[in-house]
Amino acid sequence: MLHTVNKSPFERNTLRSCLRLAQKGSAVLLMEDGVYAALSGTAVSDEIADRMDDLSFYVLGPDIAARGLSESPLIGGVQVVDYGGFVDLVVEHEASNAWL
């Protein structure tokens, strides 16, 4: 399953709920305000770093760039995709679940 998270982890519990209910082997795409969760050195970075072994993490590049974060270091292992990569992730996973 592909999970998408579009909320800042500093404002909502969306990411936390997603991580709690995502099964091992799932993918998580951070998009829109969800991209703030992909940055390293924040108060919530460990929540993603700690799950790197059982989930794969992606972040939507255009949303990173729009927010002035292109040069900001990401948590190790988070892969940057564009909208085409987002489409590929949806194709690769049998279902997607948007945590709104």
Q: Which residues bind another protein (CB under 8 A)?
A: 1, 6, 13, 17, 20-23, 26, 31-33, 62, 82-84, 86-88, 90-91, 94-100
Nearest distance from C-beta of residue 13 to another protein, angstroms: 7
Nearest distance from C-beta of residue 43 to another protein, angstroms: 21
Residue closer to another protein (CB basis): 41 or 68: 68
Residue closer to another protein (CB basis): 40 or 56: 56
Residue closer to another protein (CB basis): 22 or 48: 22
Rounded CA-CA distance 40/48 in Å is: 10
Alpha helices in the chain, H assignment, sequence order: 14-21, 45-49, 61-66, 83-92
For residue 19, give Cα distances in angstroms to 3, 25, 29, 66, 95: 9, 12, 11, 25, 16
